[in-house]
Structures are given as structure tokens and as C-alpha cells.
Amino acid sequence: MKMLTTWTAAAVLLACSAQADEPPKPDFGRDCGNYYRQGLDADVSPNKADAYCSCLAGEFARAGLGEDALAFFGRTYSEDLTTFIHEYPKGDAWMEQSFKAEPICKAEIGAAK
């Protein structure tokens, strides 16, 4: 019985360590906020990052985009789009929606022009 318990514990530890090595799953709210708080977009001040990202999420929801689209957008803030857009059949359409939402949200937060 002790041997079985030891093997079971080892299997659990291996599974946990394998998951720990995986990159974090995309999270639009976290990834968008982190990106814009770095000041990487001259039109969005870091202190308005959360409001801007909230606006984007709202615009995406109004356009009928779901969790898969938000996961896609989350990845765009930390990965090279050209390396993964092929994984998303609707990726190009989602990017077009993003281009429509950006000026709306920048106006909403009073972004610099």
C-alpha cells in the first residue's frame, strides 16, 4: 500500500510540475491591462489602461465576439500575431473589429490625439 501511495504522489507531482511549465492561458483583461500600463501606445496613458481595456471588451461583446475572440486578443498583447493567427479561422475578422473598436474607446477615455 505504501508503494502505491508513493507512486500516486509521484504521478500527481509530475502532473502539477508539467502544468507549472505551461505558459499562462490568455486572459484579455489581464493581458490588455498589462500591455497598456507599460505606455506602449502613445494614445492611451497608463493610468487609463483599465478603462480602455474595459471599453474594448464592451465593444467586442456588442459585436457578438465570444471568449475565443477574447483569448485571441489576449495573445496579441504578448505574442507575435503572425505566429498564431492561423490557429483562428476568424482571426482576420476579429482584427477588423479591433480596428473599429480602438478609435471608439480612445475617444471614450479622452485619449491624446
pLDDT < 50 stretches in the chain:
3-19
Percent of the chain whose predicted confidence (pLDDT) is above 70: 76
Phi and psi of 82, rounded to 5°?
-65, -20
The C-alpha atoms of residue 73 and residue 36 are separated, in whole angstroms, by 13
Q: What is the DSSP string of 59-80?
A: HHHHTT--HHHHHHHHHHTTS-
Res 11: pLDDT? 41
- For residue 55, the one-letter residue type is C
Q: Would you list the domain boundaries of the chain?
A: 25-108
Res 111: pLDDT? 78
Res 13: pLDDT? 42
